[in-house]
Amino acid sequence: MTTSMTTPVALPFPFTALVGQAALQQALLLAAIDLALGGVLVSGPRGTAKSTAARALAELLPEGRFVTLPLGASEERLTGTLDIESALRDASVRFSPGLLAQAHGGVLYVDEVNLLPDALVDLLLDAAASGVNSVERDGISHSHDARFVLIGTMNPEEGELRPQLIDRFGLMVALDSGFDVALRQRIVRTRLAFDADPHAFRAQCDGEQRTLRERVQCARDAIATLAWSDEVHERVSALCVAAQVDGVRADLTMLRAARALAAFEAADAVTVAHVDRVAESVLCHRRRDGGVSVEARASNERLDAADAKPQGERADRGHAAQLSDPSTPDDADPGHTNHASHAQSDWGYLPPEPVGTTQVKGVIPLHPKKR
């Protein structure tokens, strides 16, 4: 009796069946509609469906390609190589395509992008933003189209990207493990149903998948016909100023993302509502305000200004705070220091302490005489 064993084919999870990932789904769809957005950075702990969503998006694109960039890939593996010997021998350029060429029309997925060398990340982002990959070697160059959706994922526990690189990702979504009991049950039930019979599960989602694929293509065709008003532009500028972002890359990205969302919803024009719905994914990795409200920031500025006063004024202010502190006992020793009020008034200040001296016998000459 013989038993035949077959390797099961790994089918991607349907994009429309993702549960509890509305923000991630929106960001991925916007990046698929307008490739000039520069890709999506997905940050989150393990097991939050980052790679599942990336693979699912590829099925919605015309080519349906899904290319993975391994961490150990070289620059030539990414961009491709030129055969210089053939160019010198018969004046013809032979180009060996890399991963950027293979991903054209699909998704280029980079897991743990924060662990890649900065040079490779630069090349990735350049190609994703321009849609062109250029390879040069010994005075010979070759360029080809490289339009793809760049999706980079990272686990914050394993380190961050440099600010100069993270800012170049168009959109970012920060995922969490999810602590809602009902939502976790829905996610697990859905995944178990898919694992039990992937073909039947995908068949149930086939209609929604087909409709979504058509919507993405229609949105791609419509973005060039949509424009934004001065009101929309003013809202974008106000949000970026409030977030204290560097440069105007966030403004440009937010306008593009709002336009892509309007095209996806078949709207006649870009509205302020579209801007508000894409703002978080644009500002998530760019804001410098740390999510602090205007009132709290103003309070911090007043404390900083007071702390910058001369030492005598800071001491008076610290003494006044101590007297007004209800936790200070009425019979406290006048020389006793209230650490709570002192910490509020003189952050990091240490009183001078005497330092002992030790007598050293003899002097060691800097340049001893030679004998």
Structure confidence by residue, pLDDT tens digits, 32-66? 999 999 899 999 888 888 999 999 999 999 888 99
Alpha carbons 240 and 257: distance in angstroms, whole number: 14
Buried b (16+ CB within 10 A) or exposed e, 4-38: eeeeeeeebbbbbbbbbbebbbbbbbbbbbbbbbb
- Do residues 166 and 160 lie in contact, with contact meaning Cβ atoms separated by under 8 Å? yes
Greater model confidence, 1 or 97:
97
β-pairing, 171-174 vs 40-43, is parallel
The single-letter code of the amino acid at 48 is T
Alpha carbons 199 and 178: distance in angstroms, whole number: 28
Q: Would you say residue 371 lies in a domain?
A: no
Q: Are residues 33 and 128 in the same domain?
A: yes
Picking from 296, 314, 332, the residue at the C-terminal end of a domain is 314
Q: Are residues 154 and 206 in the same domain?
A: yes
Q: Are residues 216 and 259 in the same domain?
A: no
Q: Are residues 169 and 297 in the same domain?
A: no
Q: Give me the pLDDT at residue 298, please.
A: 42
Q: Would you say residue 192 lies in a domain?
A: yes
270: DSSP letter: B
Q: Which domain holds residue 271?
A: 226-314
CATH number of the domain that 37 lies in?
A: 3.40.50.300
User: Averaged over 165-180, what is the pLDDT?
Assistant: 89
Q: Give me the pLDDT at residue 84, please.
A: 67
Please, where are the H alpha helices in the chain? 22-33, 50-58, 75-79, 84-90, 99-102, 118-130, 163-166, 181-196, 198-204, 206-222, 230-242, 249-264, 272-283, 294-307, 311-324, 339-345
Q: Are residues 241 and 189 in the same domain?
A: no
Tens of pLDDT along 269-314?
999 999 999 999 999 999 986 544 333 344 444 444 544 444 444 4
pLDDT band at residue 158 under the 50/70/90 scheme: confident
Q: Are residues 147 and 241 in the same domain?
A: no
Q: Would you say residue 370 lies in a domain?
A: no
State both tokens at 225: 């016909």
State both tokens at 266: 């078949």
Rg (Cα) of the chain, in Å, rounded?
30
Greater model confidence, 8 or 109:
109
Q: What are phi and psi of 45, to 5 degrees?
A: -70, 175
Q: Are residues 134 and 154 in the same domain?
A: yes
pLDDT band at residue 338 under the 50/70/90 scheme: very low
Tens of pLDDT along 217-228?
999 999 999 999
Q: Are residues 156 and 231 in the same domain?
A: no
Greater model confidence, 31 or 348:
31
- Taking the CB of residue 264, how many other CB atoms lie within 10 A of it? 23
Q: Are residues 174 and 61 in the same domain?
A: yes
- Do residues 143 and 132 lie in contact, with contact meaning Cβ atoms separated by under 8 Å? yes
Q: Give me the pLDDT at residue 232, please.
A: 97
Number of domains in the chain: 2
Tens of pLDDT along 18-41?
999 999 999 999 999 999 998 999
Residues assigned a catalytic role: 249
Start-to-end CA span in the chain (Å): 97
Picking from 224, 246, 265, the residue at the C-terminal end of a domain is 224
Tens of pLDDT along 105-157?
999 999 999 888 888 888 898 898 889 998 887 777 888 999 999 999 998 88
Angle at 361 between CA 359 and CA 362, to 5 degrees: 140
Q: Give me the pLDDT at residue 31, please.
A: 96
The single-letter code of the amino acid at 137 is R
Task: Please state, rounded to an integer, the average pLDDT across all residues of the chain.
Answer: 79
Q: Are residues 102 and 178 in the same domain?
A: yes
Global confidence as pTM: 0.73
Q: Would you say residue 360 lies in a domain?
A: no
CA distances to 244, 339, 340, 342, 344 from 327, rounded to whole Å, are 38, 11, 9, 13, 14
Q: Give me the pLDDT at residue 189, please.
A: 97
Alpha carbons 11 and 59: distance in angstroms, whole number: 11
State both tokens at 355: 């330092």
Picking from 224, 258, 289, the residue at the C-terminal end of a domain is 224
Q: Are residues 36 and 80 in the same domain?
A: yes
pLDDT band at residue 320 under the 50/70/90 scheme: very low
Q: Would you say residue 1 lies in a domain?
A: no
Q: Would you say residue 161 lies in a domain?
A: yes
User: Averaged over 255-269, what is the pLDDT?
Assistant: 97
pLDDT reading at 2 higher than 60 = no
Q: Are residues 143 and 279 in the same domain?
A: no
CA distances to 27, 218, 226, 228, 242 from 258, rounded to whole Å, are 11, 16, 10, 9, 18
Percent of the residues in the chain that have a pLDDT greater than 90, as a whole number: 51
Residue 248: partners with Cβ closer than 8 Å, 6 or more residues away: 240
CATH number of the domain that 297 lies in?
A: 1.10.8.80
